[in-house]
Amino acid sequence: MRLFHVSEESDIEVFHPRTPDRDDLDKSVGLVWAIDEKRLPNFLTPRNCPRVTYHINDKSTFADREMFFSSPTVEHAVVIEHEWYNKMQNTKLYIYEFDSSGFELQDEVAGYYVSKATQIPIAKHTVEDLIEELIRRNVEIRITDNLHNIADRVKNSSLNWSLCRMGYAKR
């Protein structure tokens, strides 16, 4: 299994555990966060870009597949707002890869893994064209005027989904 951390910062040499901001996690334990390769497309956007992402799982219905995907060969989608299109075209990302042996699964649906120990990346990959990288990974890219409608619909679907940085989304 491959694990990654995506950043706009090009020079991270060491990842130190940080105390989580989330109220559902123990704030007394610092963590290094990583994402698995299947959910990596969820993070191939500028950091603060609000987005709705979703992908097929073994319980996804045919009706949801037809409703949320334009092609039967696609199993993952990333939806952004119009205002973020230019930023998507002009942002460079750095994907830091970790040795997965120091991590444990934190959230299976989201593909989140955590480590309580300091981590040193084993590789760094540069992504200069985010849209091309998503296409290369067979991810459907949708661009809309407002994320809230699709967010509400996908939350009630049989798909696995993630809503990221929705505080930056238009109302």
Q: Given this model, what pLDDT does residue 79 score?
A: 98
Does residue 90 sit in helix, strand or coil? Answer: coil
- Contact at 8 Å (CB) between 138 and 73? yes
Residue 91 tokens read as 């942002």
Q: Given this model, what pLDDT does residue 99 score?
A: 97
Q: Given this model, what pLDDT does residue 128 score?
A: 97
Q: Given this model, what pLDDT does residue 24 score?
A: 82
Q: Which residues pair with 95 in a beta bridge?
A: 6, 125
Q: Given this model, what pLDDT does residue 33 score?
A: 96
The 93-98 sheet, strands edge to edge: 104-107, 112-115, 32-36, 3-7, 93-98, 123-127
pLDDT along the chain (171 residues), means of 10: 98 96 85 97 98 98 98 97 97 98 94 97 98 98 97 98 95 88
Residue 24 tokens read as 């559902």
State the Cα–Cα distance between residues 143 and 45, nearest whole angstrom. 13
Q: Given this model, what pLDDT does residue 94 score?
A: 98
State the Cα–Cα distance between residues 66 and 86, nearest whole angstrom. 29
Structural domain boundaries in the chain: 3-21+30-163
Does residue 65 sit in helix, strand or coil? Answer: helix
Q: What is the CA radius of gyration of the chain?
A: 16
